[in-house]
Amino acid sequence: MKVIKTKLSGCFVIKPIVFDDGRGSFFESFNQHVFEEKTGIKTSFVQDNQSVSQRGVLRGLHIQKGEFGQAKLVRVIKGKVLDVAVDVRKNSKTFGEHFSIELSEENNKQLFIPRGFLHGFSVLENNTIFAYKCDNYYNKAAEDGVIYNDIDLNIDWKLPQKEIILSEKDIKLKTFKKFVK
């Protein structure tokens, strides 16, 4: 597995080594020992989640607050997304900055998002299957987030505005300025 640092401290792109032959392909999607050795991060994933979405769906920007914070390792099993992480750790040099990457079934890349980050993704292909590992259990009372089109974050979601499909919950998320107050 190849681990690539992003501009956001503690946030890594993970690219597996894919073995192809006449039968198809194989890759190791996660190895705890290798992950810890290459990132320097000790984590234990306790929950796996998966979603299926159509092109235009935008999920985010979400975070679990306080003791329910979650680090995530995300990937696409089928289809393609633009995945986005926003650093909201108040003492971070990259506070308020974001990193985005296309994750797809073709590139098999993953993104490790540490605790203290907002996370979201826009779906770029129909029937996309998105999977993620979390190092803490979900808690509904700890949900928070920032509206996807916040002017201060200025994220390009790679979708025309008229195609974006949001949940009722995501439509009501606050601005970045209100989130950091």
Q: Where are the domains of the chain?
A: 45-180
CA distance 123 to 134: 20
CA distance 130 to 152: 27
DSSP 8-state assignment for residue 18:
P
Q: Give the count of alpha carbons within 13 A of 136, CB side only.
A: 17
CATH superfamily entry for domain 45-180: Jelly Rolls (2.60.120.10)
Whole-angstrom Cα distance, residue 89 to residue 74? 20
How many H helices and E strands in the chain?
3, 13
So which residues are the catalytic ones?
62, 132
From first to last of its 181 residues, the chain has per-residue pLDDT tens of 899 999 999 999 999 999 999 999 999 999 999 999 999 999 999 999 999 999 999 999 999 999 999 999 999 999 999 999 999 999 999 999 999 999 999 999 999 999 999 999 999 999 999 999 999 999 999 999 999 999 999 999 999 999 999 999 999 999 999 999 8
State the pairing for strand pair 117-123/80-87.
antiparallel
